[in-house]
Each structure stands twice: as structure tokens, then as C-alpha cells.
Chains A and B, each alone.
Chain A
Amino acid sequence: MKGTIAFRRKAADRTMKWVFALCALLVILPLFLIFFDLLIKGAKELKVTLLIDLPHPVGEPG
């Protein structure tokens, strides 16, 4: 049986390749999660008034 051992070795190789690829994906995923979360939550507050208005005093609705 020439096939089985060679197949097993190749399968292991291919599996590990995908495992490493998954590692790389998991490593860079948080960057995008953080970035887009900040962007989505921050974008709607980004108005001109944010830059030119003075901060409201404490206790006054902002």
C-alpha cells in the first residue's frame, strides 16, 4: 500500500497549514474588531460641534 502513509503525511501537512492559517487569522481579527467598533461607535458623534463647542458644565445634559 503505497497510498496510505503518503496520504496521511500529506493530510497532516495540509491540516497543519490550515491550523497555522487560522492562528494568523485569529491574531489579526481583534485588530479589525477594535478598529471597526471604534469607527462605528465614534463616527456618529463626529460632528463639527464636537470640535468647536465648549464642554457642558457638570450636571447639564450634553
Chain B
Amino acid sequence: MARKTGENIKDLLFERTTAAFAFLVLFLAMLLFAVLLRESLPALRKFGAAFLVTGTWDPVLDRFGALPFIYGTLVSSFLAVLIAVPLSVGAAIFIDEFAPPWMKTPVSFLAELLAAIPSVIYGLWGIFVLVPVLRDVFMKPVTKYLGWIPLFKGPVYGPSMLAAGVLLSIMIVPFILSVSREVLATVPQRQKEAVLSLGGTRWEMLRIVIGQHCIPGIFGATILGLGRALGETMAVTMVIGNRPEALLSLFQPGYSMAAGILDGGSHRQRVHRGRRGRLSFLPRTRRAHPLRDDLRREPRGQVDPREDGRARLPGDLT
């Protein structure tokens, strides 16, 4: 069937417009990557690929490696997924299959309400409740009896990789739960009934159905949760302990990349002093700094003549 020319042009225009928007998204992603790469070039040039695998974070000697941050991010996120996935999938199954009808809506509503709590509130609760409880009830006894296992080595401080993992797991539960419920809902009712009608119990029905239908979907839910856990900043910063060391023990403080970006604090200042403000590990703060131009002019480690022999830090406004 031949279309009218006018319609054809409209179609073509529409097609091109949507294609343009689709490519815009790709373009933005590439732009983001390019800007990140450009801004991190000074660090990469100075430290090379070793930046990714070095564990030292020594502002005094001017040596930096990102390993503790990468390690902390990965370990805390995987820990969170490890805890959250079984719990949320179990809860999703309970809500969909076992719960009495009056219980379904309230339980799923409450679980999804977890997503509405701001992360700074999670962090605060983590500091005041979760960390002390974990420390006294879990970490101290475990390190006392199982301290010979590297994962549980003391001393116990409280803020730790484990605390971050547990807190993150609470935060990602609602996401994994709701996606898992969607996945469970895609299973054809007939297949479930077929298993049941052959005399299978509900658990057998679930095993068959989940094995066949739901594993890819649950994997997708896991990736969604992992993505959120990797990027979580505020809550992690408040409970992970913020010590730039990559230690095997889950009871030791660590750091994460997002936490490092958030509170570079003293490291950041010294990084700038060391590199005369050229190491753009955290470009935004540097540019906003009133003493930026001073820093550029001031040779590294030079003593400020106005002061009493004390090397001046960028943060010192006095």
C-alpha cells in the first residue's frame, strides 16, 4: 500500500527525531566518560596504572593509590548484595505465595517504604544504633572466638566494612524486592497450577518455577541493587570508618570511592598543596577555593613568609 508523500515525510521526521534523542543519550554517556577521563589525567599521568592497584594513601610523601577506595566500594557492595538478595527474594516469595491476603499489601508497602528513607537518615541511624549494636552483639563475640579467620580479625572499632555492608543491604532491599515480585508475577498461573495439580507442594512448585523462569529476572534485580549499593555515598561515609586501607577483615574500617569524593577533607587539601593545585582529584572544590590562585603561584612546600615558619595549607584562611 503506497503512502501519501506528506505522511512519508512526517514519518521520516518522526523517525529521525527519535533516533536523534536516542543517540543523544549515548553521546551524553560518552561525554561523561570523556570528561571524567580528562579530569583524571593528571592523576593517571603521575601514578600510571599503578594508581588502581596501589594501596598507599600518603599525603605527606605525596603518594596516592586508589586501591583502598575501589576495594572498599566493591567489598561493601558485594556484602550488601549477599545479604539483601536472599532476604528480598524470600520476602517476595512470601508476599506472593504464602502470605494470607490481608497481609500482602501492608508487608509489601512497608518494605517499599524503606526506599523512601533518605540516605542521611540511614547513616545517622547507622552511627547511633546499627554500629554499636553490631559491635557489641556480633563483632566482639565473633572476633573473640573466630578472630583467627582473616575475615573476622580484630581489633573491633565499630565503623567497618561490615557495618557499611549491612546498612547498604537494608537500603537496597526494596529495589530487589519489588523487581523480584515483578519477576514472580510473570510466571504463567497455569504452570504453577500444573505443578500443584500433580501433587507438588508449594515449595516444590516454587523450586521448579523459579529454576525455570525467574533466575534471569532475579539476576537483573541483583544488578539493580548492586548498582545502587556501589553509588551510595552518604550512609556509607557515615559508617564505613573512612580509613584509606584495603584490609581483608570485614571488621576493620575502610573507605569507598563515593565516600572519598564526599569527604576528601584533609587529604584533599594536602593533595592540592603537594601538586600546586594541579592534581584534579576533586576538581569542583579546587576551583571554588578562594586561595586557588595563591596556590598556583606558591612553589611546593614553600613556607609562607607571613607566618611563623609554618607551612600554609590551602584551608588556612588566617
Contacts and interface: CB of A to CB of B under 8 A. Distances in A.
Given A24-B91, A27-B177, A33-B129, A17 B98 contact: yes
Interface residues of A, number: 22
Contacts of A33: 125, 129
A41 B93 CA distance: 35
A58 interface: no
A41 B129 CA distance: 11
B173 A34 contact: no
B126 to A, nearest CB: 10
B122 interface: yes
B61 interface: no
B74 to A, nearest CB: 23
B98 A21 contact: yes
A26 B89 CA distance: 12
Interface string A5-25: 000011011001101111110
Nearest to B124: A38
A11 B293 CA distance: 74
B170 A30 contact: yes
Interface string B69-106: 00000000000000000111111011101110000000
A34 B128 CA distance: 10
Contacts of B99: 21, 24
B98 A34 contact: no
A20 B93 contact: yes
B202 interface: yes
Contacts of A50: none
Contacts of A17: 94, 98, 202-203
A51 interface: no
A52 interface: no
Interface stretch (B26-34, B37-45, B113-121, B271-279): B113-121
14 contacts: A10-B201, A13-B202, A17-B94, A23-B93, A24-B90, A24-B95, A24-B111, A28-B107, A31-B114, A34-B122, A34-B125, A34-B129, A37-B128, A37-B129
- Nearest first, the 3 A-B pairs at minimum CB distance are A23-B90, A20-B94, A13-B201
